[in-house]
Amino acid sequence: MNQTNPVKRIALFGSTGSIGTQALEVIGAHPDKFSVEVLTCGGNDELLIEQALKFNPNIVVVGEEQKYTRVKEALASTDVKVFCGEKALEDVAGMDCYDLMLAAIVGYAGLKPTLRAIKSGKAIALANKETLVVAGDIIMQTAVENRVPVIPVDSEHSAIFQCLVGEMRNPIDKVILTASGGPFLGRKPNYLVNVKREHALQHPNWTMGAKISIDSATLMNKGLEMIEARWLFNLAPHQIEVLVHPQSIIHSMVQFQDGSIKAQMGLPDMKLPIQYALAFPKRVPNDYPRCEFKKIKNLTFEEPDLRTFRNLALAMEALEKGGNLACVMNAANEIAVYAFLRNRIGFLDMTDVIEKTMQKVNFIEKPTLEEYFESDGEARNYAADIIKL
Ligand code: NAD
Ligand code: MG
């Protein structure tokens, strides 16, 4: 290890997912810059074992407790420590053996380990947007109190973050979050009513985990991202706009008070924002394909269709009203997406479940962390009841 450029010790929470596996590609390409200290998964024990044998971390955690014995036996000849269960995920997040957590668990399950890491003073590279949607005020306040940097991995937020480097004293007029529009861009409800899971999972520009793929098809993903931007960059709701840009070359933009706009661009490849977040404040070389503008015929833009993609309108309402509404919406969305992925409800039913749950659960203007947890639980139960899960 060299003192001026120490190796960053990474804890990869959600290592078996789409972000997790791409992060391991980035880390594997730069062994002089990063080491893998912690790997965690929910239930994909097979891939976790394979990753542990390749990267030789200090610790692995498998979320599903019944998978523990299998992982422990497979790693018996190594000195990798094996833990299991929800509590272990949190406990390991609080350990001293790493410098930066890549928070790449999907959904609400990522919140508690991320919060524990922040409280333990660890830098956070944040992919898990749901953490900020559920309790963004408390998460960011805790990060400030612990002097912890929260560096976005989500491509839009990475773009905004990159546009803001060197602009610390310059107030933002607004941010423009770009959206690809997903696989159903231009479609109307009479088409969407019949779409099936396989169809909705086919994203035109990005290959991602199942939950975020469905969120992209409904545009809920962009709604979650508006709320994520609100907390990451301390913006008022009216400062956050969404613009459909089907080519996904401009990853997002910032307009400053003089009307000048900065955009960050590149090919749609999550390895870029992952690498940026891991290596920040440095940029490190790589051999990924480059964006060649002469080969791009058009960069086009249009307004999102809020009447068809009502999830985005619901998220805008949650952003505007604040309190526990985004937490409630997120919980209902997780249940609705779960049910859609199992063919239990139709594509448009997801919106009805979310809307009804948002109307039902009591509004709390300034929730405590405990109240966020309770709102999440209440919303999940209510949404599951509607679907009869
Ligand atoms: P994924 O489903 O591919 O992977 C999720 C990971 O979390 C897996 O390792 C899984 O084992 C683990 N996990 C799931 N449930 C768990 C639980 N209950 N306890 C512990 N671990 C659990 O998801 P993904 O596409 O990699 O997305 C991860 C996060 O990053 C999401 O919040 C998503 O919104 C965000 N994100 C993803 C992309 C992308 O391109 N995939 C882009 C931007 C943001
Ligand atoms: Mg995104």
Candidate from 132, 208, 269 with most ligand 1 atoms within 8 A of CB, to mutate: 208
pLDDT of the residue at 4:
66
Span from the CA of 264 to the centroid of ligand 1 (angstroms): 24
Task: Say yes or no: 54 and 143 in one domain.
Answer: yes
Span from the CA of 159 to the centroid of ligand 2 (angstroms): 10
pLDDT of the residue at 53:
98
> Which residues contact residue 150 at a Cβ distance below 8 angstroms, ignoring those fewer than 6 apart?
118, 124, 126, 139, 140, 143, 232
How does pLDDT run across 232-277, given as a tens digit for each residue?
Answer: 999 999 999 999 999 999 999 999 999 999 999 999 999 999 999 9
pLDDT of the residue at 169:
94
Residue 48 included in any domain: yes
**Which regions in the chain score pLDDT beneath 50?**
1
Q: How far apart are CA 264 and CA 266, in angstroms?
A: 7
pLDDT of the residue at 7:
96
Task: Say yes or no: 331 and 187 in one domain.
Answer: no
State the ligand closest to the CA atom of 341.
1
pLDDT of the residue at 203:
85
Task: Say yes or no: 175 and 144 in one domain.
Answer: no
Number of domains in the chain: 3
Ligand 1: list residues with CB < 6 Å.
Answer: 14-20, 41-42, 44, 63, 89, 104-106, 109, 127-130, 154, 206, 208-212, 270
pTM of this prediction? 0.98
What CATH number has the domain bearing residue 366? 1.10.1740.10
Q: How far apart are CA 301 and CA 255, in angstroms?
A: 16
Q: Which strand ranges, in their side-by-side order, compose the sheet holding 100-103?
A: 81-84, 59-62, 34-41, 8-13, 100-103, 123-126, 150-152
Owning domain of residue 372: 322-389
Span from the CA of 205 to the centroid of ligand 2 (angstroms): 11
* Ion ligand 2: residues, CB < 5 A: 154-156
pLDDT of the residue at 3:
57
Atom number in ligand 1 closest to CA 19: 26
Residue 1 included in any domain: no
Residue 108 included in any domain: yes
Residue 284 included in any domain: no
What CATH number has the domain bearing residue 45? 3.40.50.720
State the ligand closest to the CA atom of 128.
1
